[in-house]
C-alpha cells in the first residue's frame, strides 16, 4: 500500500515535475496537520496568546491551499503530457 499522493500517475519525460507534485502534496498534508494542531492549541492556551496561534494557523491554512493548488497543477501537466505522448 503506497501512501504518497498521485500514485497512479506515471511519466517518462517529466519525472522531476511528478516528484515536485508529490513533494508539494506531502508538504500540504504536513501543513494541514500543523493547522489542526494550532487550532487545537489555541483553545488550550491562555487568551493572550490565542490570537497569535489563530493568526499562525491562518498562515498555515493558506500555505496548505497554495501547496495543494500548485501540486494539483503539476500533476495535471504530467498526466496530460503522459496521455498525449502515449498515443
**In whole angstroms, what is the distance from residue 69 CA to residue 41 CA?**
27
Tens digit of each residue's pLDDT (9 = 90 or more) over 46-87: 888 999 999 999 999 999 999 999 999 999 999 999 888 876
For 21, half-sphere exposure in the C-beta direction (CA atoms, 13 angstrom radius) is 22
User: Does the model's pTM come out above 0.95?
Assistant: no
Tell me what the mean pLDDT of segment 14-21 comes to: 95
**Nearby residues of 35 by Cβ (< 8 Å), 6 or more positions away:** 57, 60, 61, 64
Tell me how far the alpha carbon of residue 14 is from its chain's centroid: 20
Amino acid at each position: 500500500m503506497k501512501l504518497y499522493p498521485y500514485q497512479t500517475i506515471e511519466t517518462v519525460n517529466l519525472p522531476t515535475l511528478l516528484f515536485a507534485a508529490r513533494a508539494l502534496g506531502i508538504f500540504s498534508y504536513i501543513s494541514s496537520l500543523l493547522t489542526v494542531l494550532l487550532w487545537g492549541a489555541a483553545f488550550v492556551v491562555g487568551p493572550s496568546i490565542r490570537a497569535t496561534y489563530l493568526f499562525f494557523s491562518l498562515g498555515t491554512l493558506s500555505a496548505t491551499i497554495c501547496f495543494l493548488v500548485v501540486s494539483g497543477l503539476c500533476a495535471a501537466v504530467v498526466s496530460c503530457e503522459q496521455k498525449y505522448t502515449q498515443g
